[in-house]
Amino acid sequence: MIPYMLVIAAVVLIDQLSKYIIQNDISLYQVEIIPGFFDITYARNTGMAWSLLSGQQVFLCLVSAAAIIGMMWYLTVRKPKPLISFSLALMIGGAAGNLIDRLIFGYVRDFLNFYIFGYDFPIFNIADAALCIGVFLLLIDTFFEEKREYGNSNS
């Protein structure tokens, strides 16, 4: 259980530190890193992904807190296998990083701006990346678990 708490703490620390650095250095508000592919672009997001539910901070804080509590319960009580535990730790850390922003600032600080095949992907942060990676790993685990169960039922 302890290693997963370290993953959560690392995600929150890296997320908050990166946001602090970007927010407090105006020269980093708009920086082209890889032309046509990646920029640092500081933005304040009052919503969630793609600015959905903009301005609904109380609702988003409640949903985030409930999700964190639910995932922490599952991680500590159910003690899932390692990949699921790691996925949940990434998701908890990501949700916590953005919840901290919402509670302190009333918005989430975003700064990673990618252009994928000409599409200006929505600006995001380390917490968002951790959440997405956690969800992706959970989906992969679910996919392979279903394949194993299907294979065993046909034997």
Question: Catalytic site residues?
Answer: 110, 128
Q: Which residue has the tokens 């997405």?
A: 132
Distances (CA, A) of 42 to 96, 103, 146: 20, 19, 41
For residue 50, how many C-alpha atoms fall within 13 Å in the half-sphere facing its CB? 3
User: What is the phi/psi pair of residue 132, to 5°?
Assistant: -65, -40
The per-residue DSSP string of 39-51 comes to: EEEEEEESSSGGG
